[in-house]
């Protein structure tokens, strides 16, 4: 198994892919455990994968919240960011174009 980039990675002498829907993904609970390993190589690699997974989950949930009609303020309050920071990161192409036309 190889990560989506096609680059093979070793993790406790096993090849694997990222979390989630990718074939052979590692459960988040296992990565959380590995993130506190004595071996800093294993621990830091697990932390890196958790960061990628968390960023993916954040994006998915923000888009779901917007589809449900939630405001940027509401979303920002749930993830600990300002309304503006969330809007700038996740706004749709239509919102980007509308904003750019006004400035």
Residue 92 and residue 63: Cα distance in Å, rounded? 9
Average pLDDT over residues 14-30: 55
Residue 97 and residue 100: Cα distance in Å, rounded? 5
Average pLDDT over residues 36-42: 92
Query: Cα-flanking dihedrals φ and ψ of residue 102, to 5°?
Result: -75, -20
Average pLDDT over residues 30-47: 89
What is residue 103's three-state secondary structure? coil
pLDDT digits (tens, 9 = 90+) for 79-97: 999 999 999 999 988 776 7
């Amino acid at each position: 198994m190889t990560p989506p980039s096609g680059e093979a990675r070793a993790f406790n002498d096993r090849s694997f892919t990222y979390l989630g829907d990718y074939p052979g993904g590692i459960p988040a609970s296992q990565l959380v455990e590995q993130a506190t390993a004595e071996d800093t190589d294993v621990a830091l690699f697990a932390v890196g994968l958790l960061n990628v997974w968390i960023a993916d989950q954040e994006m998915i949930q923000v888009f779901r919240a917007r589809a449900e009609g939630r405001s940027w303020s509401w979303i920002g309050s749930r993830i600990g960011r300002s309304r503006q920071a969330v809007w700038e990161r996740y706004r749709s192409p239509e919102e980007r174009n509308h904003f750019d036309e006004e400035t």
